[in-house]
Structure 1
Amino acid sequence: MATYAHIVGWGKYIPEKVVTNHDLAKILDTSHDWIESRTGISERRHADREKNETTATMAIGAARLALDRARIVPTSVDMVIVASLSPEHLFPSTASLVQDAIGATHAGAFDLSAACSGFIYAFAMGSALIEAGAAKVVLVIGAEMVSAFLDEQDRTVYPLFGDGAGAVVLQAHNIPGGVLSTVLGSDGSGAEHLGIPAGGSRYPASQYTLDNRLHYMKMNGREVYRFATRVMGKVSKQACEKAGLELDEIDLFIPHQANIRIIQSASKYLKINEDKVFTNLQKYGNTSSASIPIALCEAIEAGRVKTHDKIVMVGFGGGLTWGATVVEWGVPMPHKPRGWWYRSMRWFVYRWAEARSGSLRISRKLENMLPERNGSKEGVLPAEDDIKPEENGHSPISSNGHKPKPKDGDIAKLPASTEEQVEVAKKVKEK
């Protein structure tokens, strides 16, 4: 019997801090009219560090709301997937932090990086796990604190992005419907046009990267615009064809909320009426991987989603990447929320998750304070001072008593500093 992945829960987290175009005009050489006429954006939200708003905390807020609407206990979740270009850390994964905070004690967790296409990619992974029988409940989240990577001196990028998080719960059912098709794509030859140069292994954080503002997002707007207008409509059509769906059967079109002109171009390509297109970028800007799930939540709240509706969600982003999915909505609408007693019960569930996490942290600290049994250090890596040289004075890491010479291509032959690495890269490119 075939298994289908249905969306059964949804949730969003929107920061309270509003940053309008007029606010930006005070710090940038720009104006409200200039931004709105070219992008369709009037304002955006920025996370407030004083309120402890981060990528993880926003993801947790959206996840809890999605689980509440799905009426699924956290312990039933099999996998947590977080898509983000602004994760809490390089590692551990933001998904692991979410898994711990919500009390999904039986779930695996991992992050996925596909920039603004991330939610579609994560959604595809979640539905594939369910269809393959590897999971029954998957929590898929798009969460971003892009404001942490925006340069206040860059008038071409800073006004475009905002922060927020959106989540959906996918559940296995034998009822036909749910996720009907997904199409993903990538073109790495365009990677240079959108990204954050520093902070990774190529250009680790250094004084040089800070001085040159390489830890902020960089974008070739013209190239990204051309790319987006080419792929948005095309990949949406491919997803519809794969699902056996005619374009005029689309009930709701939810595109990545990046630029109103790009959305209009895709709608025109698909010949979709404006009343079938959902947009909210005018008040949130581009929230990257969070834009599609946030838009889906608001479409539901606005009464735009009905049972058996065919919904197309499509995104594009750095990489370059793109993707689209077709979903047949299976949850009875309008959705009826549970009463106060249910909300109270869920409150205790999440407080219990916090208590459990805290007790585990304390137990680890206490365990580290315990004396070693019989003075044994078994299982513990030796400290540097404990490594003794051989009697002949040579390092024990070399069998002949000499340090091994670096081979061709060995990382040891590369210039040590980031500045030198950049110069070498430039020379190679010139050749």
Structure 2
Amino acid sequence: MYNSIITGMGHFVPDNVVTNDDLSKMMDTNDEWIQERTGIKERRWIKEGSGETSATMGAKAARIAIEKAGLTKDDIDFIVFATLSPDMYFPGCGVQIQDMLDMPTIGALDVRNQCSGFVYALSVADQFIKTGMYKNVLVIGSEYHSGGLDKTTRGRGVSVIFGDGAGAAILSRTEDNTKGILSSHLHSEGKHARELTVDGPSIANWVPAILERNDPDDTSYYPYMNGTFVFKHAVVRFSEVIMEGLAKNKLQPTDIDMLIPHQANLRIAQFIQKKFRLEDSQVFNNIMKYGNTTAASVIIALTEAFDKGKIKDGDLVVLAAFGSGFTWGSVIMRW
């Protein structure tokens, strides 16, 4: 049976830096309030009129990942694209990547698992590799949040959290079963779907109905989050799914060399770090400068941690995410 290893990674974020002080000019908030609740100091937002989208950012990250893997676009067998902010309602961004990178007519799959998107996408790619169906799979997480946020005081509880960006990884076949993805673990609990959601436009809340209401207080097309409820569930599910992955591989928290948590809230990551008694050198966070980039957050953080020399050959790396759905998951890998 084959195993899968990450052979190349890349990330891209817009040049436009939006600080907490910048947000205080748009809404009733301040740097202290945002940092105390989220740990975020700044984020990247696409500039209006730049032409940047989830797909274009994903393509830029993908080109870097392909080059670092020592491959060409023609070596890629399949595309898995994770996002909650596709360029179009349909089709998904995966097919746009195939076109933008001028690839052969390979398959392209979109994953809609929000904050857990990259972990889910990586697990999907891993199965394609392990069954022998594909040799090199391009996995992308990319988000363009800023265009769909309520940038008023009414929406500050959500809008201060999210940033734009993309990351990509090449998952490749190996016959060395001691390296690469050891296991992945995925879960969902749909009864909490409306605790973190965008209700419309959707088939149940379609554009004509929104226009007909013509209600200036209609927030159904902006993200809604029950922050306290989400936080309480996140810290529990993060812990459970990390332990599930470790137990599956007969490992302990002390075996973790690097934990890459989804960058939802620095307080969640700090809680998990304390619970597992991990040193600062064993956990990588970059939410302070990028905010929550949802499906892109884990791969952007993984790429940065590797580029900074914080991950070395043989390290046990754990990825974990929790988000809307609710969905959550973990990936255990030996670098």
Query: What TM-score do the two structures reach when normalised by structure 2?
Result: 0.96
Residue in structure 1 matched with residue 91 of structure 2 by the alignment: 92
Greater mean alpha carbon deviation, residues 269-278 or residues 183-192: 269-278
Residue in structure 1 matched with residue 287 of structure 2 by the alignment: 281
Deviation of 1:270 (Å): 2.0
**Partner letter of residue 113 of structure 2?**
A
In structure 2, how many angstroms separate the alpha carbons of the residues matched to 1:109 and 1:242? Answer: 30
* Identical columns (%): 39
Offset from partner CA, 1:210-239 (integer Å, 9 cap, x none): 741311111111111111111111111111
* Correspondence 1:183-262 to 2 at 5 A: 183-205=185-207, 206-207=210-211, 208=213, 211=216, 212-262=218-268
Residue in structure 1 matched with residue 149 of structure 2 by the alignment: 150
Report if the CA contact (8 A) 2:98-2:105 is conserved.
Answer: no
Structure 2 spans left out of the alignment, 5+ residues: none
Task: Provide the secondary structure at the position in 2 that maps to 1:192.
Answer: helix
Task: Provide the secondary structure at the position in 1 that maps to 2:49.
Answer: helix
Residue in structure 1 matched with residue 180 of structure 2 by the alignment: 178
2:51 corresponds to 1:52? yes
In structure 1, how many angstroms separate the alpha carbons of the residues matched to 2:222 and 2:285? Answer: 27
In structure 1, how many angstroms separate the alpha carbons of the residues matched to 2:302 and 2:215? Answer: 37
Task: Provide the secondary structure at the position in 2 that maps to 1:201.
Answer: coil
Task: Provide the secondary structure at the position in 2 that maps to 1:7.
Answer: strand
In structure 1, how many angstroms separate the alpha carbons of the residues matched to 2:143 and 2:215? Answer: 22
Task: Provide the secondary structure at the position in 1 that maps to 2:160.
Answer: helix
Report if the CA contact (8 A) 1:278-1:295 is conserved.
Answer: yes
2:322 corresponds to 1:316? yes
Deviation of 1:135 (Å): 1.0
Task: Provide the secondary structure at the position in 2 that maps to 1:156.
Answer: helix
**Partner letter of residue 168 of structure 1?**
A
Considering fraction of residues, name the structure with more strand: 2
Deviation of 1:77 (Å): 1.0
Q: Is the alpha carbon distance of 1:111 and 1:209 closer, same or farther for their aligned partners in structure 2, counting shifts above 3 Å?
A: farther
Report if the CA contact (8 A) 1:12-1:167 is conserved.
Answer: yes
Residue in structure 2 matched with residue 124 of structure 1 by the alignment: 123
Task: Provide the secondary structure at the position in 1 that maps to 2:137.
Answer: strand
In structure 2, how many angstroms separate the alpha carbons of the residues matched to 1:48 and 1:243? Answer: 45
Offset from partner CA, 1:391-414 (integer Å, 9 cap, x none): xxxxxxxxxxxxxxxxxxxxxxxx
1:263 to 240, 264, 269: 269
* Correspondence 1:379-398 to 2 at 5 A: none
Deviation of 1:200 (Å): 1.3
Report if the CA contact (8 A) 1:76-1:104 is conserved.
Answer: no
In structure 2, how many angstroms separate the alpha carbons of the residues matched to 1:160 and 1:76? Answer: 37
Task: Provide the secondary structure at the position in 1 that maps to 2:11.
Answer: strand
Q: Is the alpha carbon distance of 1:209 and 1:63 closer, same or farther for their aligned partners in structure 2, counting shifts above 3 Å?
A: farther
Residue in structure 1 matched with residue 168 of structure 2 by the alignment: 167
The size of the alignment, in residue pairs, is 328
In the TM superposition, structure 1's runs of 4+ consecutive aligned residues that sit over 4 Å from their partners are none
2:73 corresponds to 1:71? no
In structure 1, how many angstroms separate the alpha carbons of the residues matched to 2:332 and 2:294? Answer: 20
Rg (Cα) greater in structure: 1
2:305 corresponds to 1:299? yes
Report if the CA contact (8 A) 2:245-2:330 is conserved.
Answer: yes
Deviation of 1:274 (Å): 2.0
**Structure of greater relative contact order (alpha carbons < 8 Å, 6+ residues apart):** 2
Deviation of 1:46 (Å): 0.4
Report if the CA contact (8 A) 1:84-1:114 is conserved.
Answer: yes
